[in-house]
Amino acid sequence: MNKKYHFIAIGGVGMSGLAKYLLQQGVEVSGSDISDSKYVQQLRELGGKIFIGHSAENVPADAVIVVSSAIRETNPELKIARERNQTVFHRSDLLAEISRSDKCFIGFSGTHGKTTTSGMTSYVLSKAGLKPSYVVGGIIPEYHTNAEYTDGRNFIAELDESDGTIVKYAPDIVVVNNLEADHLDFYTNGLESVIDTFTTFMKGLKPTSKILINIDNYGVGLLKDSYTDCNYITYGLKDAEYTARNISYNYGYTTFDVYHNDILLTQVKIILPGEHNVYNALAVISALSEDGVDVKSVAPYFETFTGMGRRFQRVAEFDGIVVYDDYAHHPTEIKSTLSAMKSFTDKQVVAVFQPHRYTRLQSLWDDFKSALHNVLTENDRIIVTDVYAASEDAIDGINSEKFTAELGGAEYLSGDMHEVARKLLPTLKENTVVIGLGAGTITNLAKELKSVREELAWK
C-alpha cells in the first residue's frame, strides 16, 4: 500500500468511501471536487487535504492519483499527472489493492441490490460486535458513513459491474444477487455482454472462493449454465441450498425462516418492504453462514436495519405528506420499489420518475413503460421529469415528453427539480406518499418541495 494518494472528484459516495478508509489507516490523502459537501467535510475532519475546484497545482508530485470512469483525460489534474508519469489508479484498482489483505473479503455483486446487501452485512456484523471493515456504495444511516476500517476479520465491499472493472476482484466469498441488461453504453450486447464479463470474473476467482448465487434469477441461471467450472452455492425461495420459507408480509415488517438444506438456521424479521428485500436479507444470511458466522447471533439486528441512503429512504414529512427517495433507475428496480409501495393501501402514491441517461431510456423504453404501469391505479399518479443526462448528449427522439405520452395516464413535468417541485406541491393532498425514483437530481425532490412550501408561506 502506498502512503500518499490524491483523488480527483473525491466528494462522490464511492470515492469518498475509499478516501476515508485510507485516512483511517494513517495514509496521507488529498483530493479535489467541484463543490463542497458533507462527504468532503467528513474527510477534512479525518485529516484529508481537500481542494474545491480542479487545478494542476492541487496535485502532489509524489502521490498515486485515483480517478473514476467519469474523469476525462482533459481534466487538468489528470493531465499534469500524465505529464509527470505518476501512477494513476482507477478507483477499482484501489479497491482491489485494499481487498488484498489478511481479512476475509466478502463481495456483493449483481445488477441490483449490491449497496443494500453490502450495507446490511456491514451493519449486522457491526451491531453484533464483530467489527467489520467495509467500503460500500451508500450511507448506512445509523452510522452515517459508507466506509470503516477496523481490526476485525472481515472486509465487506460492493463490486461495481457497470464498466467491467469487477474482473479485478477476487473475494473469498462472492454473492451474485441478479444479472440483467443494464449499463448498455458499455454492455453493447445487453445481457449477453454482462454474462461474458461475469464469466471472466468467475474465472479469476481463487480456487477456494465460495460463490453464492440467486438461483431464482434468470440472468444468474444463464451464468450458471454458461460457466460450469466451479461449485455454486445457491439461495432462493425454493429449490436452493439456502431458502427463505414461511414468508409473512405485514404492514411495516416481513418475517421468514431461513433453511440450509432443509435444516432451520434462524428466523428473520426485516422492516424493509418487498420481496426483493427478502432476497437481500437471504443473500446476507447465506454469505455469513458460509463465512462461519453464527447467524442466530446476528439475526436480531436485521430488524433494526432501516436501509441504505437513497434506498426506499424516508426523507421528509409535512402536512400529512410523506416523501421517500429511491435510487431505482432500472425497470426491475422500479418494479420492485413500486410493488413494495402497494402496502400503502390507505394512501395515494405519487411516483416521480426521473429517467437516468438517454442511452438507458432508449434501450429499455418498453421495459420502463411496463414497470411504471404497475402503479397506475385509479387513485395513484405517475409523474415523469426531464431526463438526467449524466454527461451524455441528448438522443434525437428520446425524451421524457414523448415517453410520457406513450406511457398514458402519466403527467410530464418539465424543468429542474425546483421547477418540478413548484408545479407538483399544489397538487398534493393530505394522506399522500411521494416517492422519487432515479439516480440523478431527483434525490433533491424532498428538499425542493419543502423549499417551495416555505416560499408559498411567505406570500
Residues labelled catalytic = 114-115, 158
Look at residue 144 and give its three-state secondary structure: coil
Q: What DSSP line would sit under 415-429, residue for residue? A: SSHHHHHHHHGGG--
Residue pair 168/274 in contact by the 8 Å Cβ criterion? no
Residue pair 305/117 in contact by the 8 Å Cβ criterion? no
Look at residue 226 and give its three-state secondary structure: helix
The rounded distance, in Å, linking the Cα atoms of 170 and 133 is: 17
CA-to-CA dists, residue 37 to 9, 42, 316, 380, angstroms: 12, 9, 20, 35
CA-to-CA dists, residue 310 to 22, 263, 286, 437, angstroms: 25, 35, 25, 9
Please state the φ and ψ torsions of residue 121, each to the nearest 5 degrees: -60, -45
Residue (of 278, 270, 244) closest to 259 by Cα position:
244
Q: What DSSP line would sit under 70-88, residue for residue? A: T--TT-HHHHHHHHTT--E
Signed CA dihedral, 71, 385, 37, 433: sign only: negative
C-alpha cell at 364: 429499455
Residue pair 121/137 in contact by the 8 Å Cβ criterion? no
C-alpha cell at 205: 476467482
CA-to-CA dists, residue 239 to 214, 233, 288, angstroms: 11, 12, 20
Signed CA dihedral, 373, 374, 377, 382: sign only: negative
